[in-house]
Amino acid sequence: MKLNVYNQIMAAQASRRGLLKGAAGLGAIAALNGAGLGAFTRPSFAAGELDTELRKQILAIPGVGKGQPTDADYRKVGALCLDGTKEMVKEGELKGVELTFMGLNNQNTHNFLFRGFLHPWEEYTGAKINWIDLAQADYNARLQQAISTGTIDWDVLEMGAPFEGDVCGRGLTSEVPDWVQKAIDLDDYVNYLKAPVGTWDGKLYRVSIDGDTHNFNYRTDYFSDPDLAKAWKDAGNKSEWGVPKTWQEVQAVTKFLKGKKIAGQDAYGYLDAPKPWGGFGFYFLGSRATAYAKHPDDKAWLFDVDTMKPRINNPAWVRAIQDVIDALPSEPPNQINADPNETGFAEFLGGTGSMVVWWGDVGAAAKTSDSSVVGDSCGFSILPGSDDVYNSKTAKWDKLPGGPNYAPNLAYLGWGIYVMKKVDGDEKKKKAAWSAAAHLGGKNIALWMSAYPSGFQCYRNSQHNIDEWVAAGYDKAFITSYLDSQFNSYNHPNGAIEPRIPGIFQYYSLAEDILANIFAGKMGAQEGADQIAAAWEKLTDQLGRDSQIKLYKAALGM
């Protein structure tokens, strides 16, 4: 959770009335989550398995509403969660070991927390940690250059799953030992973070500390507005006015809202993010495409697994691109120059538009950010589905017997802790590195990190215990709706998994440049998609097609 989000949650506690104002809308959200969009995937866990007293104790540090946690708080939490370490390591056993840990220093989170959590671990084990702090913008370049030039100067690495192809795929990481696997309780992970994520050739290399997925954020006031409902009927629509459940409905609503007003303001429907964003913008087209392109019978959705032939120019992706082209004229006039950051935070949270797709950050900020004006009128669900889904094997559109096809875009897959293979030659160092990783990836620390500003979101089923969140001071209706949209995506049986192949952001970045030209009207959807496919083929050849095929299969667990 981000620092500003946390601070604003604190502020929100002072205004329960404000929270309750949104309760009616949230009731509708709960109904939507429960009835239509994947309640079957809601996680279950046995609270009795957890150390409830310890969890209650750490959640009280510093306590919701008692200000921003400090390094002293991180240390307290780290010390209280040290039992796992004590089971495997004797006091002072790792004295003399020095580890180098490379991670981010975004917004005083990530490494800042790790330092505090690991301080009592260092005191207990006797090991010492040296830190390499990186800004997120420098991360990829630092990582790639070190790998490319053979100058890896860290032992423990905080890394996002999309980079696993570059690192694990090259055999640079150490396999997670059995004792660590038991200590971190892998079964508690949400489904999509279980193997094959974190694994290569069947071996596990990652200790998860975060989860990521795109969910669907919408305005409840739009979809309960009687004037818009009447206008919708007057326009000849046979369906009821309500929250779109498929992309076909999203398109229809977006076009319908053009020129309409709500509360005296211009009404808009879905907000696309056409402006390139360092490769990350491609995830947003991906979220439009997964319901069309991710068939339940096929793990792959971006490339053919046997040939790495891109699917970006198949009818499913072209339909998604065409959807953007068709929707843009109905979106705000400057939408062509809106990147995901502007779309999610400046526009949607600022009151422009009624539907947007984002990671959990937008939902988390909706009620708590100073710049958000939609806190009482924001609902969440998994991504919309599609009435039909493209079957790449038969080259036909299928209508599924169970109704629309839903396929959450499990974009980025969250951060994890990895240990480099170079420590394998030194058993003591290896034990120290994995002990540190297990400490950070522990179940109880996970709860604290998702409840307080950390930069990390939920990734364990045990984090879905609403009572714990409410006891810590969160509003029940809000947190239930929000967490459901996350967990129903994480645990969805047809989730679209990040390809995790080397250079994946190069594919995304190349696509962004061409998509920008398509959206600017320089070429059609099919022509542009063919260009992306050609560029991707060229890149695959440059990176090594056989190697990419092998790694793509490994990434999909095939």
Partner 1 sequence: MNQTVPSGQAPFVVADAVAPRRRFFGHALLAAATLVLLVVALLQTLDASGVLAIGFPNWRPLLYAYLLWAVALGAWQVIVRGYVGQRALFVLPAALFTLAVAIFPTLFGFYIASLDWNLSSVEGPHFNGFRNFVAMFHDPYYWNALLNMVFYLLAVIVEYAIAFGLALLLNSEIRARKFFRVAFLLPFMLSPVAVSWMVGKSLMEYRFGPAARLARDLGWDTPAFFANPWTARIAIEAMDAWVSIPFIMILLLAGLQAMPKEVTEAAKVDGANAWQAFWRVTFPMMLPVSVTAVLIRIIFKLKLADIVINVTSGGPGGATDTVSSFIYRVYRDRSNVGYGTALAMFYLVLIVIFLTVLLRVTRRWTRSVND
Closer CB to partner 1, 166 or 188, in the complex? 166
CA-closest candidate to residue 287, choices 298, 297, 302, 306: 302
**Stretch binding partner 1 (CB under 8 A), from 41-49, 115-123, 345-353, 426-434:** 345-353
- Residue 184 and residue 459 in contact, taking contact as beta carbons nearer than 8 Å: no
- Residue 483 and residue 39 in contact, taking contact as beta carbons nearer than 8 Å: no
Q: How far apart are alpha carbons 554 and 203 in whole angstroms? A: 10
Among 72, 141, 195, 263, binds partner 1 (CB under 8 A): 141
Residue 486 makes contact with partner 1 by CB under 8 A: no
Among 20, 31, 39, 346, binds partner 1 (CB under 8 A): 346
Least Å distance between CB 3 and partner 1? 20
C-alpha separations of 85 from 12, 81, 129, 398 in Å: 37, 8, 16, 51
- Altogether, the residues listed in the chain come to a count of 558
Secondary structure of 4-43 in HEC code, one letter for each residue = HHHHHHHHHHCCHHHHHHCHHHHHHHHHHHHHCCCHHHCC
Least Å distance between CB 84 and partner 1? 35
Closer CB to partner 1, 155 or 388, in the complex? 155
Least Å distance between CB 334 and partner 1? 3
Residue 371 makes contact with partner 1 by CB under 8 A: no
Q: How far apart are alpha carbons 305 and 497 in whole angstroms? A: 13
Residue 370 makes contact with partner 1 by CB under 8 A: no
Closer CB to partner 1, 263 or 520, in the complex? 520
Q: Is the dihedral of CA 222, 225, 229, 232 positive or negative?
A: negative
* Helix locations, 60-94, DSSP H: 71-80, 83-88
Q: How far apart are alpha carbons 537 and 279 in whole angstroms? A: 17
Residue 145 makes contact with partner 1 by CB under 8 A: yes
Closer CB to partner 1, 25 or 165, in the complex? 165
Q: How far apart are alpha carbons 231 and 114 in whole angstroms? A: 54
**Joined tokens for residue 62:** 């510093």
Closer CB to partner 1, 101 or 277, in the complex? 277
Residue 332 makes contact with partner 1 by CB under 8 A: yes
**Stretch binding partner 1 (CB under 8 A), from 47-55, 57-65, 357-365, 542-550:** 542-550
| Residue carrying the six token digits 């390809």 | 499
**Stretch binding partner 1 (CB under 8 A), from 10-18, 111-119, 347-355, 455-463:** 347-355
- Residue 301 and residue 294 in contact, taking contact as beta carbons nearer than 8 Å: yes
E strands along 67-214, which residues? 98-104, 128-134, 156-160, 199-200, 203-204, 207-208
Among 189, 205, 223, 277, binds partner 1 (CB under 8 A): 277
**Joined tokens for residue 145:** 């250059």
- Residue 89 and residue 429 in contact, taking contact as beta carbons nearer than 8 Å: no
Residue 334 makes contact with partner 1 by CB under 8 A: yes
Give the x/- contact pattern for partner 1 in 498-537, rule: CB under 8 A. ----xx-xx--xx--x--xx-xxxx---------------
Least Å distance between CB 502 and partner 1? 4
Closer CB to partner 1, 20 or 520, in the complex? 520
Residue 333 makes contact with partner 1 by CB under 8 A: yes
- The interface with partner 1 within residues 286-305 (CB under 8 A) comprises none
Name 123's Cβ contacts closer than 8 Å, sequence gap at least 6. Answer: none
Least Å distance between CB 173 and partner 1? 15
Residue 148 makes contact with partner 1 by CB under 8 A: yes
By the criterion CB under 8 A, which residues form the site for partner 1?
140-141, 144-145, 147-148, 151, 165-166, 169-170, 274-279, 332-337, 339, 346-347, 350, 352, 502-503, 505-506, 509-510, 513, 516-517, 519-522, 539, 542-544, 547
